[in-house]
Structure 1
């Protein structure tokens, strides 16, 4: 026992240690295969509908309906997943998504009216499988109370960004080089195969939380005030993604170099990936609530000057900085779910955040598109500026709601792990001795020391 604790104490939390978690690769790899198509969906719809209708406006409407439908359906999918299990929900969902995408592609190729395409976009978006939140829920269940949890959140953010870099490139190549519908067909095929492979990894999925004879009540994630604040804040992140997509494309067209759009957005996404990788390697000494607010301060400051950029180099540099600040806010928000929401509602909580990003992105695409058409790309960049400023104001006004409310739950969750002699943690709920760290120290200290790891104490 002593040697095992010593080994844990000397190990620095990192990606290598994270991926050595028993069973991790079994769900990480198929999870990535199932998530890659998500980065292909919007651009594939835009390219196909624009090809068949000749209108970017019509293509934008269909894409926006898809995003809004996904945002509205994602929390329901999360509730069902927590109730019935990931595999039980994922299998019918990926089958429905493949059928819905096939129907949308067929209507587009048949030159259907844009309103019929928008109607077909509803089931297409509503059936997007929430594999990302499912993977995060598996990490949360496997690493509950561990200092590796922020590393897992950083790893997932990097994975998401990688899909949003590779997915659009792959979809564009297929739509322009093979067939206008090839992107959607490939997206549906990969979603179906990857989703079924991920669903087959049943051993690592979190346990379901069905009502039982013991009287355990079902906790709905949205009932927790801290998650409500995060949902509002994540609308700002979604607005950055949507506003940047439209405004960068418009800026590139204005300077007579449409090809610069891919480079500029790639630099923006690269900043997010770099910061995500760094987040997983840093042992933070400040608490997650303060990290979240500082991340939004930097994001708001960077987004507020995008409108003034007048060259590719300057806009690329500013886009890189914006990306660097998105990752800390995004990763920290996902990490805080473990502290703010009970285990029986975490998949639902993750889908609320994912849906919030999608909704913010869809609204920003519409607003930035209208402003750009009327006044130019500089006005489109005002959308991420305003959205991040509002998100920061919400965080500052409601920051008290982000404080963990039940430290005894975390103590109970970690008592089964090795505990060093220097960390006396009570094994009964809320029964820590007066003056002990469980009673007087911050929640993070109870959580991390209870797992037997020597990790810097966080102060918020």
Structure 2
């Protein structure tokens, strides 16, 4: 297994751009929570804090596709460096507006601007891997590396920002997120040797290559369904732990879920698959659905940990196959945009999933809320079955 990873990470520049991309992505799991901690501490209102955080997440989801399109046209370094600077400035202004007790509208404005300018490094890292590697099997391994990196981001980020906010200052966690984003993004952009070429569009160059929506649209539905599933599972697991009288176990249960996904991602990247990515997306989505069904019936903490650990094995392989299918289908001139569309679907599903699960928890308890995850998994599995068949090799 290590041979597969060593082969791609020893290519010139790949280890460095992957590592800096990991640092630059830390704010993905930090800023939303950090905004809630900052504003709720300053105002005492979780409603306002949640609304401001939602404004940040909404603009991030909506404008990610536009940023991806600009990256394809103008190049990664030009777009990401400007976005990182804008993100850093607006995040500082957000903290200042809260500390100086400016009108709440200012906090909404700065949060929305920060969300819209957050550099889409995740999509750019994967596009850079696609440019650096020629063998589809090596690209699959590289995407597995980034899937594991994403799991690290979502395991480490919330812990760091919560500890800093509670033990030191609510703004400290956001400061770390800004430094990681700006510093990591600029270091990533400085590596020009591995940057994919830009594809500027001119009137004389003809129309842009078409986006293969027959593939991208179902994949986006799968990604959005996974986002709903993630958001619902996180909130429901916290409620389940509280109902069992062990609220402190919520983080451990979710960490086991992420651990299962991380291990599966590592294994997936080392395997030479005989089946194409379309088949793997279809089966992976069905696996996600199957993994969610038992959660409704679990009644103990230890058994929930086992079920979540096993269920996590379906996450990373499904996402890796989805990205591999995107990479193999979307024209190179729109690859970052295509990656961003999937990322937008994933991010956009989290908040609705958490909201619906919260309403079900209030009305019927945690076990019933796991059915929200089942419903999301069912939608994703059905969407995956509509994907066009893999094209035969030429």
TM-score interval, normalised by the smaller of the two chains:
over 0.9
Q: Secondary structure at the match of 1:252?
A: helix
Matching residue within 130, 137, 141 for 1:147: 137
Query: How high is the TM-score relative to the length of structure 1?
Result: 0.81
Contact 1:246 1:380 in 2 (8 A): no
Contact 1:64 1:365 in 2 (8 A): no
1:228 aligned onto 2:217: yes
Contact 2:56 2:111 in 1 (8 A): yes
Matching residue within 298, 301, 306 for 1:309: 298
Which whole-Å deviations, capped at 9, do the CAs of 1:31-60 have from their partners, x for residues lacking one? 122112322122212322332343444433
Which whole-Å deviations, capped at 9, do the CAs of 1:281-301 have from their partners, x for residues lacking one? 111122211111111111101
Which whole-Å deviations, capped at 9, do the CAs of 1:398-457 have from their partners, x for residues lacking one? 222x544xxxxxxxxxxxxxxxxxxxxxxxxxxxxxxxxxxxxx32xx4xxxxxxxxxxx
Matching residue within 341, 344, 368 for 2:357: 368
Q: Secondary structure at the match of 2:137?
A: coil
Contact 2:65 2:341 in 1 (8 A): yes
Question: Partner of 1:340 in structure 2?
Answer: 329
1:248 aligned onto 2:237: yes
Matching residue within 122, 126, 131 for 1:136: 126
Q: Give the superposition deviation at 1:279.
A: 0.4
Whole-Å separation in 1 of the counterparts to 2:295 and 2:98 = 35
Segments of 5+ residues of structure 1 without an aligned counterpart are 1-10, 405-441, 447-460
Question: Partner of 2:111 in structure 1?
Answer: 121
1:95 aligned onto 2:79: no
Matching residue within 162, 175, 189 for 1:172: 162
Whole-Å separation in 1 of the counterparts to 2:315 and 2:2 = 25
Contact 1:68 1:362 in 2 (8 A): no
Which whole-Å deviations, capped at 9, do the CAs of 1:372-421 have from their partners, x for residues lacking one? 2333222332222111101111222x222x544xxxxxxxxxxxxxxxxx
Question: Partner of 1:379 in structure 2?
Answer: 368
Which structure has the greater CA radius of gyration? 1
Q: Give the superposition deviation at 1:116.
A: 5.3
Structure with a larger share of its residues in helix = 2
Contact 2:20 2:185 in 1 (8 A): yes
Aligned residues between the structures: 394
Q: 1:214 to 1:14 in 2, by over 3 A?
A: farther
Contact 1:153 1:334 in 2 (8 A): yes
Q: 1:213 to 1:109 in 2, by over 3 A?
A: closer
Whole-Å separation in 2 of the counterparts to 1:209 and 1:165 = 35
Question: Partner of 1:271 in structure 2?
Answer: 260
Query: How high is the TM-score relative to the length of structure 2?
Result: 0.93
Question: Partner of 1:30 in structure 2?
Answer: 20
Q: Which moved more, 1:208-217 or 1:353-362?
A: 208-217
Whole-Å separation in 1 of the counterparts to 2:100 and 2:294 = 44
Q: Give the superposition deviation at 1:96.
A: 1.0
1:189 aligned onto 2:179: yes
Q: Secondary structure at the match of 1:251?
A: helix
Q: 1:30 to 1:146 in 2, by over 3 A?
A: same
Q: 1:262 to 1:111 in 2, by over 3 A?
A: farther
Contact 1:224 1:340 in 2 (8 A): no
Question: Partner of 2:311 in structure 1?
Answer: 322
Whole-Å separation in 2 of the counterparts to 1:29 and 1:126 = 24
Question: Partner of 2:282 in structure 1?
Answer: 293
Q: Give the superposition deviation at 1:360.
A: 0.7
Q: Give the superposition deviation at 1:97.
A: 0.8
Q: Secondary structure at the match of 2:20?
A: helix
Q: C-alpha root-mean-square deviation of aligned residues, in Å?
A: 2.1
